[in-house]
Amino acid sequence: MTDSNLLGIPATRLPAEPEVERALATAVELEEFEAIASRYPASSLAWAALAEAAADPARPVTGYAFARVAYHRGLDALRKAGWRGQGPVPWSHEPNRGVLRSLYLLRCAAEAIGEEAEVQRLTDFLRDADETAVAQILNEGSPSEPAPATEAFFIRGLD
């Protein structure tokens, strides 16, 4: 038993989705993410990537809808893997990241449309699943080392 798993419930570890990961590795355009979600409709990872690609502050309901599907696909996958509504879903197990990301994206989208009760519920769900997940998601885009300092100089002259 670990400090963060006081109930002693075994961690849920989802199976890898290498075909989805390969498809997502080259996707850039929204239409490509839509095609991947269509090809792998049971994948929370595919739907989470689509929700992220579709996120637009001017149209928050679209991102919310895709994130909601990702969330439900994630719940399906967790239950299929033996999860019973509680217990750790560790970020350190890479295949779990699609589900954790879907929870995070739905929380962000719910916040964008003012659904405060949903924001709190998803905040609690994420914390209970893996208290480091939100920080891990936020740090994904950050470089591990600071970029080297750059200098610029100008030569000024007469035109």
Contact 36, 23 (CB under 8 A): yes
The domain in which residue 67 lies consists of 18-139
Q: Per the structure, how many domains does the chain have?
A: 1
In a domain, 146, yes or no: no
In a domain, 101, yes or no: yes
pLDDT at residue 9, as a whole number:
86
The answer on pLDDT for 84 being more than 80 is yes
pTM above 0.85, yes or no: no
Across residues 79-101, what is the average pLDDT?
96
In a domain, 110, yes or no: yes
In a domain, 38, yes or no: yes
Residues whose CB is less than 8 angstroms from the CB of residue 122 and which lie 6 or more positions away in sequence, other chains included: 103, 104, 106, 107, 110
pLDDT at residue 8, as a whole number:
79
In a domain, 155, yes or no: no
**For residues 113 and 76, what is the distance between their CA atoms, to the nearest angstrom?**
25
DSSP single-letter state for residue 94: G
In a domain, 8, yes or no: no
Residues whose CB is less than 8 angstroms from the CB of residue 19 and which lie 6 or more positions away in sequence, other chains included: 40
pLDDT tier for residue 3 given thresholds of 50, 70 and 90:
very low
In a domain, 3, yes or no: no
In a domain, 13, yes or no: no
Per-residue tokens: 43: 């994948």
pLDDT at residue 140, as a whole number:
86
pLDDT tier for residue 6 given thresholds of 50, 70 and 90:
low
